[in-house]
Structure 1
Protein backbone atom coordinates (compact mmCIF):
# COMPACT_ATOMS: atom_id res chain seq x y z
CA UNK A 1 0.00 0.00 0.00
CA UNK A 2 1.32 3.49 -0.79
CA UNK A 3 2.34 5.87 2.03
CA UNK A 4 -0.34 8.39 2.96
CA UNK A 5 0.25 11.54 1.00
CA UNK A 6 -1.46 14.92 0.83
CA UNK A 7 -4.73 14.54 -1.01
CA UNK A 8 -5.03 10.75 -0.67
CA UNK A 9 -8.26 11.23 1.24
CA UNK A 10 -9.67 13.06 -1.76
CA UNK A 11 -8.40 10.28 -4.04
CA UNK A 12 -10.24 7.74 -1.91
CA UNK A 13 -13.36 9.89 -2.17
CA UNK A 14 -13.02 9.98 -5.93
CA UNK A 15 -12.78 6.18 -6.11
CA UNK A 16 -16.28 5.83 -4.70
CA UNK A 17 -17.90 9.15 -5.65
CA UNK A 18 -17.63 10.26 -9.26
CA UNK A 19 -16.80 13.89 -8.45
CA UNK A 20 -15.52 14.43 -4.93
CA UNK A 21 -15.91 18.21 -5.33
CA UNK A 22 -19.67 17.84 -5.90
CA UNK A 23 -22.02 17.33 -2.92
CA UNK A 24 -23.14 13.72 -2.67
CA UNK A 25 -26.48 13.14 -4.35
CA UNK A 26 -29.15 11.50 -2.29
CA UNK A 27 -29.85 7.93 -3.36
CA UNK A 28 -33.55 7.03 -2.98
CA UNK A 29 -34.08 3.92 -0.89
CA UNK A 30 -36.44 2.36 -3.44
CA UNK A 31 -34.03 2.16 -6.40
CA UNK A 32 -34.30 -1.43 -7.72
CA UNK A 33 -31.16 -3.50 -7.33
CA UNK A 34 -30.26 -5.40 -10.51
CA UNK A 35 -28.73 -8.80 -9.83
CA UNK A 36 -26.54 -10.61 -12.35
CA UNK A 37 -28.36 -13.41 -14.13
CA UNK A 38 -25.87 -15.95 -12.88
CA UNK A 39 -25.90 -14.68 -9.29
CA UNK A 40 -26.32 -17.45 -6.73
CA UNK A 41 -28.93 -16.71 -4.10
CA UNK A 42 -27.66 -16.96 -0.57
CA UNK A 43 -29.68 -18.79 2.08
CA UNK A 44 -30.69 -15.42 3.53
CA UNK A 45 -31.04 -12.53 1.11
CA UNK A 46 -29.01 -9.47 2.14
CA UNK A 47 -31.51 -6.68 2.92
CA UNK A 48 -31.32 -3.60 0.71
CA UNK A 49 -30.28 -0.63 2.88
CA UNK A 50 -32.77 2.18 3.20
CA UNK A 51 -32.00 5.87 3.61
CA UNK A 52 -29.61 7.81 1.40
CA UNK A 53 -25.91 8.24 0.74
CA UNK A 54 -24.76 11.05 3.01
CA UNK A 55 -21.79 13.38 2.36
CA UNK A 56 -20.90 13.38 6.06
CA UNK A 57 -20.53 9.59 6.09
CA UNK A 58 -18.73 9.55 2.73
CA UNK A 59 -16.04 11.81 4.20
CA UNK A 60 -15.98 9.73 7.38
CA UNK A 61 -15.32 6.48 5.48
CA UNK A 62 -12.73 8.15 3.24
CA UNK A 63 -10.85 9.39 6.32
CA UNK A 64 -11.15 5.95 7.92
CA UNK A 65 -9.68 4.18 4.87
CA UNK A 66 -6.99 6.83 4.47
CA UNK A 67 -5.88 6.18 8.05
CA UNK A 68 -5.83 2.42 7.37
CA UNK A 69 -3.70 2.83 4.20
CA UNK A 70 -0.34 1.07 4.59
CA UNK A 71 2.94 1.41 2.59
CA UNK A 72 3.15 -0.37 -0.76
CA UNK A 73 0.80 -0.72 -3.75
CA UNK A 74 -2.42 -2.50 -2.90
CA UNK A 75 -6.14 -2.40 -3.61
CA UNK A 76 -6.28 1.41 -3.59
CA UNK A 77 -3.55 1.79 -6.20
CA UNK A 78 -5.30 -0.83 -8.31
CA UNK A 79 -8.55 1.04 -7.82
CA UNK A 80 -6.83 4.21 -9.04
CA UNK A 81 -5.58 2.38 -12.14
CA UNK A 82 -9.06 0.95 -12.68
CA UNK A 83 -10.58 4.40 -12.45
CA UNK A 84 -8.22 5.67 -15.14
CA UNK A 85 -9.81 3.15 -17.54
CA UNK A 86 -13.11 5.05 -17.50
CA UNK A 87 -13.93 6.61 -20.82
CA UNK A 88 -11.77 4.21 -22.88
CA UNK A 89 -14.79 2.30 -24.10
CA UNK A 90 -13.59 -0.98 -22.65
CA UNK A 91 -15.88 -3.62 -21.24
CA UNK A 92 -15.77 -4.39 -17.54
CA UNK A 93 -13.54 -7.45 -17.97
CA UNK A 94 -11.08 -5.55 -20.21
CA UNK A 95 -11.01 -2.64 -17.76
CA UNK A 96 -10.09 -4.92 -14.85
CA UNK A 97 -7.43 -6.70 -16.92
CA UNK A 98 -5.91 -3.45 -18.23
CA UNK A 99 -5.89 -1.97 -14.71
CA UNK A 100 -4.13 -5.11 -13.47
CA UNK A 101 -1.44 -4.72 -16.13
CA UNK A 102 -1.03 -1.05 -15.19
CA UNK A 103 -0.85 -1.96 -11.50
CA UNK A 104 1.94 -4.47 -12.10
CA UNK A 105 3.79 -1.96 -14.28
CA UNK A 106 3.86 0.59 -11.45
CA UNK A 107 5.65 -1.94 -9.23
CA UNK A 108 2.68 -3.68 -7.71
CA UNK A 109 2.61 -7.34 -6.71
CA UNK A 110 2.48 -9.92 -9.48
CA UNK A 111 -0.24 -11.97 -7.77
CA UNK A 112 -3.82 -10.83 -7.20
CA UNK A 113 -3.62 -12.07 -3.62
CA UNK A 114 -2.41 -8.66 -2.45
CA UNK A 115 -5.52 -7.05 -3.96
CA UNK A 116 -7.88 -9.54 -2.34
CA UNK A 117 -6.09 -9.44 1.02
CA UNK A 118 -5.91 -5.65 1.20
CA UNK A 119 -9.52 -5.25 0.04
CA UNK A 120 -10.61 -7.71 2.76
CA UNK A 121 -8.59 -5.71 5.31
CA UNK A 122 -10.39 -2.52 4.32
CA UNK A 123 -13.71 -4.34 4.59
CA UNK A 124 -12.68 -5.40 8.10
CA UNK A 125 -11.90 -1.78 9.00
CA UNK A 126 -15.29 -0.69 7.66
CA UNK A 127 -17.00 -3.57 9.48
CA UNK A 128 -15.44 -2.65 12.82
CA UNK A 129 -16.46 0.96 12.35
CA UNK A 130 -20.03 -0.11 11.56
CA UNK A 131 -20.09 -2.32 14.66
CA UNK A 132 -18.99 0.62 16.80
CA UNK A 133 -21.49 2.91 15.10
CA UNK A 134 -24.36 0.50 15.73
CA UNK A 135 -23.44 0.28 19.42
CA UNK A 136 -23.54 4.08 19.58
CA UNK A 137 -26.92 4.02 17.84
CA UNK A 138 -28.28 1.50 20.37
CA UNK A 139 -26.98 3.59 23.28
CA UNK A 140 -28.52 6.74 21.79
CA UNK A 141 -31.83 4.92 21.37
CA UNK A 142 -31.70 3.74 24.98
CA UNK A 143 -30.78 7.22 26.27
CA UNK A 144 -33.13 9.30 24.13
CA UNK A 145 -35.90 7.05 22.88
CA UNK A 146 -35.94 5.12 26.15
CA UNK A 147 -36.65 8.31 28.10
CA UNK A 148 -39.45 9.19 25.68
CA UNK A 149 -40.91 5.70 26.01
CA UNK A 150 -40.86 6.00 29.80
CA UNK A 151 -42.70 9.34 29.54
CA UNK A 152 -45.14 7.73 27.10
CA UNK A 153 -45.79 4.92 29.58
CA UNK A 154 -46.35 7.37 32.44
CA UNK A 155 -48.80 9.43 30.38
CA UNK A 156 -50.71 6.32 29.29
CA UNK A 157 -50.97 5.17 32.91
CA UNK A 158 -52.12 8.65 33.99
CA UNK A 159 -54.74 8.69 31.22
CA UNK A 160 -55.95 5.24 32.27
CA UNK A 161 -56.31 6.52 35.86
CA UNK A 162 -58.17 9.62 34.65
CA UNK A 163 -60.50 7.48 32.54
CA UNK A 164 -61.17 5.30 35.58
CA UNK A 165 -61.95 8.41 37.64
CA UNK A 166 -64.21 9.72 34.87
CA UNK A 167 -66.03 6.38 34.77
CA UNK A 168 -66.45 6.46 38.56
CA UNK A 169 -67.74 10.04 38.44
CA UNK A 170 -70.11 9.12 35.61
CA UNK A 171 -71.41 6.19 37.69
CA UNK A 172 -72.03 8.55 40.62
CA UNK A 173 -73.74 11.06 38.34
CA UNK A 174 -75.99 8.29 36.99
CA UNK A 175 -76.79 7.16 40.56
CA UNK A 176 -77.64 10.75 41.53
CA UNK A 177 -79.86 11.15 38.45
CA UNK A 178 -81.71 7.98 39.38
CA UNK A 179 -82.18 9.18 42.97
CA UNK A 180 -83.31 12.60 41.73
CA UNK A 181 -85.97 10.87 39.65
CA UNK A 182 -87.13 8.95 42.71
CA UNK A 183 -87.17 12.14 44.81
CA UNK A 184 -89.22 13.96 42.19
CA UNK A 185 -91.80 11.16 42.33
CA UNK A 186 -91.75 11.16 46.13
CA UNK A 187 -92.20 14.94 46.24
CA UNK A 188 -95.26 14.71 43.99
CA UNK A 189 -96.72 11.83 46.00
CA UNK A 190 -96.06 13.40 49.39
CA UNK A 191 -97.35 16.80 48.28
CA UNK A 192 -100.59 15.22 47.02
CA UNK A 193 -100.98 13.20 50.22
CA UNK A 194 -100.39 16.23 52.45
CA UNK A 195 -102.74 18.34 50.37
CA UNK A 196 -105.44 15.65 50.58
CA UNK A 197 -104.96 15.43 54.35
CA UNK A 198 -105.21 19.20 54.65
CA UNK A 199 -108.43 19.25 52.65
CA UNK A 200 -109.86 16.51 54.89
CA UNK A 201 -108.82 18.52 57.93
CA UNK A 202 -110.40 21.69 56.58
CA UNK A 203 -113.63 19.87 55.72
CA UNK A 204 -113.82 18.25 59.16
CA UNK A 205 -112.92 21.53 60.83
CA UNK A 206 -115.67 23.28 58.90
CA UNK A 207 -118.17 20.64 59.99
CA UNK A 208 -117.26 21.07 63.67
CA UNK A 209 -117.13 24.84 63.37
CA UNK A 210 -120.50 24.92 61.66
CA UNK A 211 -122.08 22.62 64.30
CA UNK A 212 -120.72 24.64 67.21
CA UNK A 213 -121.78 27.95 65.69
CA UNK A 214 -125.21 26.52 64.94
CA UNK A 215 -125.53 25.36 68.53
CA UNK A 216 -124.30 28.73 69.80
CA UNK A 217 -126.90 30.55 67.72
CA UNK A 218 -129.60 28.30 69.08
CA UNK A 219 -128.44 28.84 72.64
CA UNK A 220 -128.61 32.57 72.13
CA UNK A 221 -131.99 32.21 70.52
CA UNK A 222 -133.73 29.76 72.83
CA UNK A 223 -132.10 30.22 76.18
CA UNK A 224 -132.62 33.55 78.07
Structure 2
Protein backbone atom coordinates (compact mmCIF):
# COMPACT_ATOMS: atom_id res chain seq x y z
CA UNK A 1 0.00 0.00 0.00
CA UNK A 2 1.49 3.42 -0.95
CA UNK A 3 2.39 5.75 1.87
CA UNK A 4 0.21 8.80 2.51
CA UNK A 5 1.66 12.29 2.02
CA UNK A 6 1.56 12.81 5.78
CA UNK A 7 3.46 9.65 6.73
CA UNK A 8 5.95 10.13 3.89
CA UNK A 9 6.37 13.75 4.92
CA UNK A 10 7.25 12.68 8.46
CA UNK A 11 9.81 10.21 7.10
CA UNK A 12 11.29 12.88 4.84
CA UNK A 13 11.41 15.29 7.76
CA UNK A 14 13.43 12.76 9.76
CA UNK A 15 16.00 12.63 6.94
CA UNK A 16 16.87 16.28 7.29
CA UNK A 17 16.01 17.24 10.87
CA UNK A 18 17.72 15.08 13.44
CA UNK A 19 15.45 14.36 16.38
CA UNK A 20 17.06 14.06 19.82
CA UNK A 21 15.72 11.77 22.51
CA UNK A 22 14.44 13.79 25.49
CA UNK A 23 16.48 13.35 28.65
CA UNK A 24 14.54 12.01 31.70
CA UNK A 25 14.08 14.46 34.55
CA UNK A 26 14.43 13.67 38.24
CA UNK A 27 10.74 12.76 38.33
CA UNK A 28 11.01 10.52 35.30
CA UNK A 29 9.29 12.98 32.97
CA UNK A 30 11.10 13.47 29.65
CA UNK A 31 12.69 16.90 29.31
CA UNK A 32 13.35 18.41 25.88
CA UNK A 33 17.05 19.17 25.19
CA UNK A 34 18.06 22.81 25.55
CA UNK A 35 18.96 23.22 21.87
CA UNK A 36 15.85 21.50 20.56
CA UNK A 37 13.64 23.56 18.27
CA UNK A 38 10.22 24.45 19.72
CA UNK A 39 7.40 22.14 18.78
CA UNK A 40 5.06 23.41 16.09
CA UNK A 41 1.72 22.02 14.89
CA UNK A 42 1.96 20.13 11.62
CA UNK A 43 0.35 22.11 8.77
CA UNK A 44 -2.69 20.68 6.98
CA UNK A 45 -1.80 19.69 3.42
CA UNK A 46 -3.33 21.89 0.71
CA UNK A 47 -3.89 19.91 -2.48
CA UNK A 48 -3.83 23.03 -4.66
CA UNK A 49 -0.73 24.75 -3.33
CA UNK A 50 2.34 23.82 -1.34
CA UNK A 51 3.89 27.27 -1.06
CA UNK A 52 4.06 28.85 2.40
CA UNK A 53 2.01 32.03 2.67
CA UNK A 54 3.79 34.85 4.47
CA UNK A 55 0.50 36.54 5.39
CA UNK A 56 -0.36 33.50 7.53
CA UNK A 57 2.89 33.76 9.52
CA UNK A 58 2.52 35.71 12.80
CA UNK A 59 4.45 39.00 12.80
CA UNK A 60 6.58 37.86 15.72
CA UNK A 61 8.18 34.42 16.02
CA UNK A 62 9.90 32.85 19.00
CA UNK A 63 12.28 30.90 16.75
CA UNK A 64 15.90 31.90 17.32
CA UNK A 65 17.40 33.42 14.12
CA UNK A 66 19.75 31.05 12.33
CA UNK A 67 18.13 27.83 13.58
CA UNK A 68 15.94 25.27 11.87
CA UNK A 69 12.35 26.43 12.13
CA UNK A 70 9.95 23.51 12.81
CA UNK A 71 7.21 25.29 10.87
CA UNK A 72 9.31 25.48 7.70
CA UNK A 73 10.85 22.05 8.25
CA UNK A 74 7.36 20.55 8.25
CA UNK A 75 6.46 22.59 5.19
CA UNK A 76 9.52 21.44 3.21
CA UNK A 77 8.81 17.84 4.16
CA UNK A 78 5.29 18.26 2.77
CA UNK A 79 6.64 19.82 -0.44
CA UNK A 80 8.99 16.87 -0.95
CA UNK A 81 6.26 14.36 -0.09
CA UNK A 82 3.94 15.87 -2.70
CA UNK A 83 6.72 15.67 -5.28
CA UNK A 84 7.73 12.12 -4.39
CA UNK A 85 8.17 9.89 -7.42
CA UNK A 86 6.98 6.26 -7.52
CA UNK A 87 9.55 3.53 -6.92
CA UNK A 88 12.92 3.59 -5.15
CA UNK A 89 14.82 6.81 -5.62
CA UNK A 90 16.95 9.30 -3.75
CA UNK A 91 14.85 9.17 -0.58
CA UNK A 92 15.12 5.42 -0.16
CA UNK A 93 18.88 5.83 -0.56
CA UNK A 94 18.84 8.67 1.95
CA UNK A 95 16.92 6.58 4.45
CA UNK A 96 19.43 3.73 4.13
CA UNK A 97 22.29 6.19 4.51
CA UNK A 98 20.71 7.61 7.64
CA UNK A 99 20.40 4.15 9.17
CA UNK A 100 24.17 3.69 8.72
CA UNK A 101 25.14 6.97 10.36
CA UNK A 102 25.44 5.49 13.84
CA UNK A 103 27.66 2.53 12.87
CA UNK A 104 30.91 4.48 13.03
CA UNK A 105 31.74 3.90 9.37
CA UNK A 106 33.76 6.44 7.39
CA UNK A 107 31.67 8.63 5.15
CA UNK A 108 32.76 6.89 1.94
CA UNK A 109 31.92 3.47 3.40
CA UNK A 110 28.49 4.73 4.49
CA UNK A 111 27.69 5.87 0.97
CA UNK A 112 29.03 2.68 -0.58
CA UNK A 113 27.04 0.48 1.79
CA UNK A 114 23.90 2.53 1.22
CA UNK A 115 24.42 2.27 -2.53
CA UNK A 116 24.81 -1.52 -2.33
CA UNK A 117 21.57 -1.77 -0.38
CA UNK A 118 19.78 0.55 -2.79
CA UNK A 119 20.91 -1.40 -5.86
CA UNK A 120 19.43 -4.55 -4.39
CA UNK A 121 16.16 -2.73 -3.65
CA UNK A 122 15.87 -0.86 -6.95
CA UNK A 123 17.36 -3.51 -9.22
CA UNK A 124 19.60 -1.01 -10.99
CA UNK A 125 23.25 -0.02 -10.90
CA UNK A 126 22.78 3.37 -12.52
CA UNK A 127 23.84 6.08 -10.05
CA UNK A 128 22.06 8.63 -12.22
CA UNK A 129 18.75 7.57 -10.70
CA UNK A 130 19.94 9.04 -7.41
CA UNK A 131 21.35 12.27 -8.76
CA UNK A 132 18.45 12.88 -11.13
CA UNK A 133 15.79 12.30 -8.47
CA UNK A 134 17.78 14.32 -5.94
CA UNK A 135 17.85 17.19 -8.45
CA UNK A 136 14.11 16.71 -8.96
CA UNK A 137 13.52 17.36 -5.26
CA UNK A 138 15.97 20.26 -5.27
CA UNK A 139 14.00 21.81 -8.14
CA UNK A 140 10.77 21.37 -6.17
CA UNK A 141 12.30 23.13 -3.17
CA UNK A 142 13.76 25.89 -5.36
CA UNK A 143 10.34 26.55 -6.90
CA UNK A 144 8.86 26.74 -3.43
CA UNK A 145 11.59 29.15 -2.36
CA UNK A 146 10.92 31.40 -5.37
CA UNK A 147 7.21 31.48 -4.51
CA UNK A 148 8.03 32.18 -0.87
CA UNK A 149 10.33 35.07 -1.80
CA UNK A 150 7.55 36.57 -3.91
CA UNK A 151 5.17 36.32 -0.98
CA UNK A 152 7.86 37.88 1.26
CA UNK A 153 8.22 40.81 -1.14
CA UNK A 154 4.44 41.21 -1.26
CA UNK A 155 4.23 41.13 2.53
CA UNK A 156 7.05 43.67 2.84
CA UNK A 157 5.32 45.93 0.34
CA UNK A 158 2.00 45.64 2.17
CA UNK A 159 3.07 45.65 5.80
CA UNK A 160 6.41 47.45 5.87
CA UNK A 161 5.36 49.79 3.06
CA UNK A 162 2.23 50.69 4.99
CA UNK A 163 4.24 51.29 8.14
CA UNK A 164 6.73 53.43 6.21
CA UNK A 165 3.88 55.52 4.80
CA UNK A 166 2.49 55.97 8.31
CA UNK A 167 5.98 56.87 9.52
CA UNK A 168 6.34 59.56 6.84
CA UNK A 169 2.87 60.91 7.61
CA UNK A 170 3.59 61.16 11.33
CA UNK A 171 6.97 62.77 10.70
CA UNK A 172 5.31 65.36 8.44
CA UNK A 173 2.64 66.03 11.06
CA UNK A 174 5.29 66.38 13.78
CA UNK A 175 7.25 68.83 11.63
CA UNK A 176 4.11 70.89 11.04
CA UNK A 177 3.25 70.80 14.73
CA UNK A 178 6.80 71.78 15.63
CA UNK A 179 6.52 74.81 13.34
CA UNK A 180 3.21 75.69 14.95
CA UNK A 181 4.81 75.39 18.38
CA UNK A 182 7.59 77.75 17.29
CA UNK A 183 5.04 80.28 16.07
CA UNK A 184 2.98 79.86 19.25
CA UNK A 185 6.09 80.33 21.38
CA UNK A 186 6.93 83.49 19.44
CA UNK A 187 3.43 84.80 20.08
CA UNK A 188 3.70 83.91 23.78
CA UNK A 189 7.02 85.75 24.02
CA UNK A 190 5.56 88.77 22.23
CA UNK A 191 2.53 88.78 24.53
CA UNK A 192 4.76 88.45 27.59
CA UNK A 193 6.86 91.43 26.54
CA UNK A 194 3.72 93.45 25.85
CA UNK A 195 2.33 92.55 29.27
CA UNK A 196 5.47 93.94 30.86
CA UNK A 197 5.02 97.32 29.13
CA UNK A 198 1.28 97.47 29.79
CA UNK A 199 1.81 97.72 33.55
CA UNK A 200 3.78 100.96 33.09
CA UNK A 201 1.30 102.30 30.55
CA UNK A 202 -1.59 101.64 32.93
CA UNK A 203 0.13 103.69 35.62
CA UNK A 204 0.91 106.52 33.21
CA UNK A 205 -2.58 106.62 31.73
CA UNK A 206 -4.20 106.43 35.17
CA UNK A 207 -2.08 109.29 36.41
CA UNK A 208 -2.87 111.42 33.33
CA UNK A 209 -6.59 110.72 33.52
CA UNK A 210 -6.75 111.44 37.24
CA UNK A 211 -4.74 114.64 36.80
CA UNK A 212 -7.00 115.78 33.98
CA UNK A 213 -10.00 115.05 36.17
CA UNK A 214 -8.56 117.12 38.95
CA UNK A 215 -7.70 119.94 36.54
CA UNK A 216 -11.22 119.78 35.17
CA UNK A 217 -12.71 120.09 38.63
CA UNK A 218 -10.46 123.02 39.51
CA UNK A 219 -11.16 124.80 36.25
CA UNK A 220 -14.87 124.07 36.60
CA UNK A 221 -14.83 125.52 40.09
CA UNK A 222 -12.99 128.62 38.86
CA UNK A 223 -15.52 129.31 36.09
CA UNK A 224 -18.59 128.60 38.17
CA UNK A 225 -17.35 130.71 41.07
CA UNK A 226 -16.80 133.67 38.77
CA UNK A 227 -20.26 133.34 37.28
CA UNK A 228 -21.83 132.98 40.69
CA UNK A 229 -19.85 136.03 41.86
CA UNK A 230 -21.13 138.02 38.90
CA UNK A 231 -24.69 136.97 39.66
CA UNK A 232 -24.34 138.09 43.27
CA UNK A 233 -22.85 141.43 42.22
CA UNK A 234 -25.46 141.99 39.54
CA UNK A 235 -28.16 141.41 42.09
CA UNK A 236 -26.48 143.79 44.50
CA UNK A 237 -25.46 146.52 42.15
CA UNK A 238 -28.05 146.52 39.45
CA UNK A 239 -31.39 147.61 40.91
TM-score, shorter chain, exceeding 0.5 = yes
Give TM-score scaled by structure 2 length: 0.64
Query: Distance between the aligned counterparts of 1:62 and 1:204, measured in 2?
Result: 113
Pick from 36, 41, 45 the counterpart of residue 25 of structure 1: 36
> C-alpha displacement at 1:150, in angstroms?
2.4
Structure 1's unaligned 5+ residue stretches are 28-48, 209-224
Cα 1:20–1:137, aligned 2, differ >3 Å: closer, same or farther? farther
Any idea what SS the aligned residue of 1:106 has? helix
Deviates more, 1:100-109 or 1:82-91: 100-109
Deviation at 1:149, TM superposition (A): 2.7
Distance in 2 between residues matched to 1:110 and 1:177, nearest whole Å = 98
Structure-2 change in CA distance of 1:131 and 1:4 (3 Å): farther
1:81 and 2:96 aligned: yes
CA distances 1:87-133 after superposition (whole Å, capped 9, x unpaired): 21212222112111211222254233222222122111101101101
Residue of structure 2 equivalent to 1:151: 166
Judging changes above 3 Å, is the alpha-carbon distance between structure 1 residues 151 and 108 closer, same or farther for their aligned structure 2 residues?
farther
Match of 1:132 in 2: 147
| Contact 1:14/1:20 (8 A) holds in 2 | no
Q: How well do the aligned residues superpose, as a CA RMSD in angstroms?
A: 4.0
User: How do 1:1-224 residues align onto structure 2 when only pairs under 5 Å count?
Assistant: 5-6=3-4, 7-19=7-19, 25-26=36-37, 50-192=65-207
**Contact 1:13-1:59 within 8 A present in 2 as well:** yes
Residue 220 of structure 1 corresponds to none
CA drift at 1:191: 4.2
Decide which moves more: 60-69 or 194-203.
194-203
Q: In structure 2, do the counterparts of structure 1 residues 108 and 145 end up closer, same or farther at CA, with 3 Å as the change threshold?
A: farther
Is the contact made by 2:76 and 2:141 (CA closer than 8 Å) also made in structure 1?
yes
Q: Secondary structure at the match of 1:62?
A: helix
Q: What is the aligned length?
A: 201
In 2 relative to 1, CA 108–129 (structure 1 residues): closer, same or farther, beyond 3 Å? Answer: farther
Structure 1 segments, 4+ long, off by >6 Å, are 20-24, 195-208
Instruction: Report if the CA contact (8 A) 1:10-1:20 is conserved.
Output: no
* C-alpha separation in 2, matches of 1:8 and 1:142: 36
8 Å Cα contact 2:20-2:36 kept in structure 1: no
For structure 2, the 5+ residue unaligned runs are: 23-31, 39-63, 224-239
SS in structure 2 of the partner of residue 53 of structure 1:
coil
TM-score norm. by structure 1 comes to: 0.68
